[in-house]
Structure 1
Amino acid sequence: MANTKKIIDANMHWLPGELFSDKKLLNSFLNCVPRQYGVHTRVEKIEGKDLHQLIVEQPKGYINLNYAEGQYTLESQLADMEKAGVDHAIFRLPVWQEWLDLETCKEVNSRMADYVKRSDGRMSALAVVPPYGTDECLREVDRCLNELGFRGAQIVAHYGQVYLDDPLFRPYLKFLNDLKVPVVVHHTPLPVDYHSVLPYTNQRRQFGRCIDQATAVGRELFSGMFDELPNLKFVHSMLGGAFYAFADMLVPPQHKFNDTVDRFQATTGNLRDHLHNNIFFDTSGAPQWGKAQLEAAVKVVGSTNILYGSSYPIRKDWFFTGIETIESLDITDEDKANILGGNASRMFNLD
């Protein structure tokens, strides 16, 4: 076992356990989804079980998200953590950050705080608010951090058709930058331009998320936003959409040759610095990547920029075999310790 004080899962999903029984809360979740943009929600019974699931389609007829009743109870999550060998969980909402209004966010934050409090120190939470920097939104973030004991904030890679480098979000991000709190950037169900990945389920539900995350990371780097917001630390899910595979293409090292025509955007040392200092990645289910890909990620972006995350409860094999997957990598014990808990402990101040 790698020499780490705690195994920290930095990507565990949480939804209110009462979501399916509390009709007012359920309607708040269902009604916030913008049907005018082709996103559709419904609740239906799971075939062969006395349970229900909440389904999100985009566009109608193409399932991109489904959440099952009964997966978000404290007892079952603690039992699964014990079985998997996870010491501490950091909670985020799965994708709903894109749509929830402020009042529902307040309700969700309060319920999440109560849930974490009952975990006896085994769980932490991240604040969710609409990312527009209004006085009301900033007060809610302040409440989460200073009254409820949350460890950072959570957002998604884009809102509607607008990615995070847009000036629309700058007041909120400046607020978080000044507070020096970490910001988890979850993927959205699909990238902004998604029609080419619709027909096939795995391409839509897996590759689509990778496109979304890699697009977001690239836009953040090239926009110069980290020059303005140097304290901002983003933790992108899905290994940033396998951003390590594109890092040297998009942020190439300087070379000594003179090209007749400059075909690509000039790069500076700042891009490399920002990739190291401002952009971090969680594994979002280590087993799904494979040994060679995970080792490549460590080699390219460095073990200090990768956090262990399972996307629990999406796939039980990702959760129950995730730690051993990291342990099996041909990397140093220090690298394993960073990924499995050290980085998250430092970033979210869990020591």
Structure 2
Amino acid sequence: MTSVRTIDVHAHVLTEEMMRLMRREAPDIGPTLSEVDEHGGVLQVGNIVQRPFPRGAWDLELRLRDMDEAEVDVQVLSVCPQTFLYDRDPALTATLSAIQNDEIARIVSQQPDRFMGIATLPMQDPERAVAELRRSMTQLGLRGAQIGSHVEGRNLDDPALEPLWATAAELDAFILVHPQKIAGGDRLKSYYLKNLIGNPLDTTIAAASLVFGGVLERYPNLKFCFAHGGGFMPYQTGRMNHGYDVRSEGKVNLKEAPEVSIRRLYFDCILHFEPALHFLVETFGADHVLLGSDYPFDMGMTDGVRQIRSLRATAEQRNLILGDAAAVLLGGSAHAPAKRAAGRG
């Protein structure tokens, strides 16, 4: 009997080669590392500082050991949100996106049994974003893209992004939506609330914008996956429906209740709370919940495989979350033989 191949759809990477090439292209904002030790260092990208920046982000041998320990067969590599760079000149962001996408594709080509990849896009210029998504999927073999929860304050239902959604639907792209530059930051400075509340809040705004903007009605087969369990969206579906029923604003772009579009979304499993994960699976279906870790960051879920295997669910449901659903969405094989030999690099 074959076992499911575990696929982690939410894992970030920023290799030293990526950093070097980005610095060569843009010395003022190219990523730099400092205070490096065996655990990690401090990352700076322009005026963005990430402290700590875990070593697994760039150390592929450590990453493979960590994957083995976590029983993850495959990671879907995406860039670190610090390098989205939507606030920069579009041509420069397009160039830096291409550098990162090329490097992700190179890693995948060297370890195709352990890695898949998704692109980053210059979202501030939809025409360039379309071109880079098409190049990344048709020439580099990447499976879609990771995008931020907004584009410098413009929500994802912005009409300028319509060509990107049409192209993503045409290419059958997998789109991971990740929070960045969160809303309400002035009120979330204490207690790490910028992450604890800010990240799921911004994810919720992104999901609601796509739903109420009618994007999922126009492109019902688009594959949007929302990080960190979908923020607050899955747990407020009833409120969204009620607002649609009693107010006119929600009907501007929607012909059906928002729940219809919400049920087209996908969510990673990073909730850190079994009752919430159980609710997500039972309410939206195991085929819409995907294994994610947020590797290598400290708010991630390093024991996700073990948590899913102990979840109150059927074996079929657990296998869907662990990899079967992701394999279909990403165009891979869920039951390909896994080669999880310790120390391989």
Equivalence for 1:231? 221
Summarize the Cα distance change of 1:195–1:6 in structure 2 as closer, same or farther, 3 Å threshold. Answer: same
Q: Is the 8 A contact 1:17 1:70 kept in 2?
A: no
Structure 2 residue 250 is the aligned partner of structure 1 residue 249? no
CA distance in structure 1 between the aligned counterparts of 2:27 and 2:222, rounded to whole angstroms: 29
| 2:278 paired residue among 271, 283, 295 | 295
| 1:344 paired residue among 323, 326, 343 | 326
Using the TM superposition, give the Cα deviation of residue 302 of structure 1 relative to its aligned residue in structure 2, in angstroms. Answer: 2.0
Q: Is the 8 A contact 1:184 1:236 kept in 2?
A: yes
Summarize the Cα distance change of 1:91–1:49 in structure 2 as closer, same or farther, 3 Å threshold. Answer: closer
Equivalence for 1:326? 308
CA distance in structure 2 between the aligned counterparts of 1:88 and 1:45, rounded to whole angstroms: 30
Equivalence for 1:109? 101
Q: Which moved more, 1:91-100 or 1:125-134?
A: 91-100
Using the TM superposition, give the Cα deviation of residue 316 of structure 1 relative to its aligned residue in structure 2, in angstroms. Answer: 8.9
Summarize the Cα distance change of 1:24–1:109 in structure 2 as closer, same or farther, 3 Å threshold. Answer: closer
Equivalence for 1:86? 72
Equivalence for 1:77? 63
Using the TM superposition, give the Cα deviation of residue 17 of structure 1 relative to its aligned residue in structure 2, in angstroms. Answer: 2.8
CA distance in structure 1 between the aligned counterparts of 2:216 and 2:60, rounded to whole angstroms: 37
Structure 1: stretches of 5+ with no match in the other structure: 33-40, 256-260
Equivalence for 2:188? 197
CA distance in structure 2 between the aligned counterparts of 1:336 and 1:141, rounded to whole angstroms: 31
1:265-284 residue CA offsets vs partner (Å, 9 max, x unmatched): 4686453322222x111123
Q: Is the 8 A contact 2:4 2:323 kept in 1?
A: yes
Using the TM superposition, give the Cα deviation of residue 216 of structure 1 relative to its aligned residue in structure 2, in angstroms. Answer: 1.1
Using the TM superposition, give the Cα deviation of residue 310 of structure 1 relative to its aligned residue in structure 2, in angstroms. Answer: 0.3
CA distance in structure 2 between the aligned counterparts of 1:104 and 1:57, rounded to whole angstroms: 13
Q: Which moved more, 1:291-300 or 1:308-317?
A: 308-317
SS of 2:196's partner is: helix
Summarize the Cα distance change of 1:160–1:65 in structure 2 as closer, same or farther, 3 Å threshold. Answer: farther
| 2:126 paired residue among 108, 129, 133 | 133
Using the TM superposition, give the Cα deviation of residue 251 of structure 1 relative to its aligned residue in structure 2, in angstroms. Answer: 2.6
CA distance in structure 1 between the aligned counterparts of 2:151 and 2:27, rounded to whole angstroms: 16
| 2:263 paired residue among 276, 282, 292 | 276
Equivalence for 1:52? 41
Summarize the Cα distance change of 1:3–1:189 in structure 2 as closer, same or farther, 3 Å threshold. Answer: farther
CA distance in structure 1 between the aligned counterparts of 2:321 and 2:74, rounded to whole angstroms: 14
Using the TM superposition, give the Cα deviation of residue 69 of structure 1 relative to its aligned residue in structure 2, in angstroms. Answer: 4.7
Using the TM superposition, give the Cα deviation of residue 73 of structure 1 relative to its aligned residue in structure 2, in angstroms. Answer: 2.4
Q: Is the 8 A contact 1:155 1:183 kept in 2?
A: yes
CA distance in structure 2 between the aligned counterparts of 1:316 and 1:162, rounded to whole angstroms: 26
Summarize the Cα distance change of 1:4–1:343 in structure 2 as closer, same or farther, 3 Å threshold. Answer: farther
CA distance in structure 1 between the aligned counterparts of 2:283 and 2:46, rounded to whole angstroms: 35
CA distance in structure 2 between the aligned counterparts of 1:310 and 1:220, rounded to whole angstroms: 24
Equivalence for 1:314? 297
Equivalence for 1:36? none
Equivalence for 2:111? 119
CA distance in structure 2 between the aligned counterparts of 1:265 and 1:138, rounded to whole angstroms: 28
Q: Is the 8 A contact 1:239 1:282 kept in 2?
A: yes
CA distance in structure 2 between the aligned counterparts of 1:329 and 1:19, rounded to whole angstroms: 38
Equivalence for 1:154? 146
User: 1:250-269 alignment to 2 at 5 Å?
Assistant: 250-252=240-242, 265=250, 269=256
Structure 2 residue 173 is the aligned partner of structure 1 residue 186? no
1:221-277 residue CA offsets vs partner (Å, 9 max, x unmatched): 11112222233221110111132211122135999xxxxx75884686453322222
SS of 1:292's partner is: helix
The two structures, once aligned, show a CA RMSD in angstroms of: 3.1
Q: Is the 8 A contact 1:56 1:66 kept in 2?
A: no
SS of 2:197's partner is: helix
Q: Is the 8 A contact 2:157 2:215 kept in 1?
A: yes
User: 1:5-16 alignment to 2 at 5 Å?
Assistant: 5-16=4-15
Using the TM superposition, give the Cα deviation of residue 301 of structure 1 relative to its aligned residue in structure 2, in angstroms. Answer: 2.0
Summarize the Cα distance change of 1:332–1:65 in structure 2 as closer, same or farther, 3 Å threshold. Answer: farther
CA distance in structure 2 between the aligned counterparts of 1:77 and 1:154, rounded to whole angstroms: 20
1:43-79 residue CA offsets vs partner (Å, 9 max, x unmatched): 5425x76963115799x9xx77652456422222122
